[in-house]
Structure 1
Amino acid sequence: MPADSVSQRLKAIRQQLTLLADYVDPSALEAEVAELEQVMGEPGFWDDQANAARTSAQHARASRKLDGYRTLTSDVDDLEPLAEMAQEDPDLAGELAEQIVSAERRLEALEEERLFSGRYDAGDALVTVNAGAGGTDAQDWAEMVLRMEMRWAEKRGFDVELLEVSPGEEAGIKSATFLVRGENAYGLYGAEKGVHRLVRLSPFDSANRRQTSFAGLEVAPIVEDAAEVEIDDDDLQVDTYRASGAGGQHVNKTDSAVRITHRPSGIVVQCQNERSQSSNRATAMAMLRSKLVELEEQRRQEEIAREKGEAQDVNFGSQIRSYVLHPYSMVKDHRTDHEVGDTGRVLDGDLDGFVRAYLLKQAAS
């Protein structure tokens, strides 16, 4: 690596780290970690399991962020001496290149975190995939989108739990909902919300003609405090049915699956992954609360857009991305113009480039 190139990259790393110091605020993080540790050390802390779990998770996030920043700062401090040694010893050039790339990647991740400023961005997410127009092709495409989005979550180290799947008549799925647990899950999946469009030669058409299919993706935040959302039992229609798909003999012999319709909003949620009807109902109610919070957040964004005089489309129906498999291979995000030619890589869950481009554009606007 040329000395000039190394010098420029080291300078850029140092400048970016300095800019992000205000965002990280290590002194404030240290105080937060110390305060949380004091709370966790108080007698009876674990008596309230739910509150203890939230506090512990908050402590883990703050500690991880502080440790990551400290380690990154130390590693950046070591880069310049290593660069000087590499000039005299070419055998160190490979190690230097690896250390620079590592620092740049961690800075990029830190910069990404800075983009999350919404009320629920740091929390978990409830993600629903629905087949759109296109018949069997659309249902097959919805299943592909489901796999892509779940693979992306797993690659980022998130915990993923599939809550409900409604199979298609011939292939694929009509809809599916999964829960993503991890830092900034809701903020990240907000970039995937909207309609995903597929163009390909249909494997379900005997003439093998080109087909355009659509799948919609909805995202809602997980609300820990049930008091945040008031739900009147009289507004609910609760139906039970036999669960379908994997789950053993039990789910096929009892009406354990639960579907809840919230009449005022028209929102429908269902859960069939638990063995008991009561557990499925509890999970479905949590899903309903999350979707009602998302509906209110969407209304708030629309009101802000109107006040600003912006023609901002924040509705579910906005087409965000096209996946073209024929007559050429290309995935293009229509909001940012970010493109990737390797469609297989994208469909296997490589979505970081699309999400980052969208988040940066949102932050700039």
Structure 2
Amino acid sequence: MTLNEFFNRIESQYNVELPFVVYRKPKENSINALLQKTDDLIFTQDFTEKGFVFSPFDNTEKSVLMPLEFSEKFKTAHTVLSDIVTSNNEPETQNNSEKEIHVNLVKSGVEAIKNNEFKKVVLSRSETVLLSDNNPLSIFKNLLEHYASAFVYCWYHPKVGLWLGATPETLVKIEGQRFSIMALAGTQNYKGSLDVTWQNKELQEQQYVTDFILDSIKDTIDNIKTSTVETVKAGNLLHLKTKIWGVLRPNAISLKDLLYSLHPTPAVCGLPKLDAKQFILKNESYNREFYTGFLGELNLDIILAPRSGKRNIENRAYATTKKSTQLYVNLRCMQLKENNAIIYVGGGITESSCPESEWEETVSKSLVIKKVL
């Protein structure tokens, strides 16, 4: 299937108002699509189903499932180049009312931390942008070209809405019993080099996420290993990342319980999780919906071939099929409503956070999305 045929097929699905998701995994050379055959709104019951799942921030709410058994799945080749980095130096229109609201929200968060209500909280805001082109596939193509190292997606259900994003953060990846996850936190603008200095605030923020993950998986994952902390680039931003991996203990925990022991992580919620989440739900002036939720492939079959060698034909006979779940945190995302894009941005707040700086961080993050509109 050619690239044009691929997108024409998705365009037809959108025009008849049937659910679909189109996505490209980080640094992969193919784009995947799942087209649901009816407009039924289906929810996952226990995360044992096969398909594509889209989960909200508030894990007391239901997760939407596009089931593999009721959908058409196909892919097309697409060459990945590298992230396009553009300057953040252009003037940004400041909305003083939005700024004041967010700065006051951050002040409330810092005060709550100083009062020992929690150690960290992630506070966010939404911003509405008028679109010159509201075709979601045009925006999706722009995201593909700009963010090669991100999970890029366009998700649509006529009974839920239309979302797009380019997220740098993996929630979990499980292939058979192999398990991996990342701790991603801290943000600064990319200025041409990965050799940067991080402040204690960002280092502490990232350590909170790492410690939370390790504590959450210690009873269900064997042979846990962690990488050193590294600086990674996502578009025009830099983050701190730690990779964590191991082996999932057989029958130790259901996938649903494992996911909800992790989600929402301190990278998108706070620590302790329940206290931070209640503060967010009470004090943020809008409903996050699927922003800072998670999405991705659920229990799809993959073929794991042995390493190639001289006896390739013999090796193929020993290829194994395993279930694969690859889920991503829904960051750097937007929701389309008529001629508007609603952009969602936030940042981690600790005791040492400066409200003005936190506002500027959300402005930088909003530019990641605005550059493709």
Question: What TM-score, normalized to structure 2?
Answer: 0.20
Structure having the higher strand fraction is: 2
Question: What TM-score, normalized to structure 1?
Answer: 0.21
Structure having the higher helix fraction is: 1
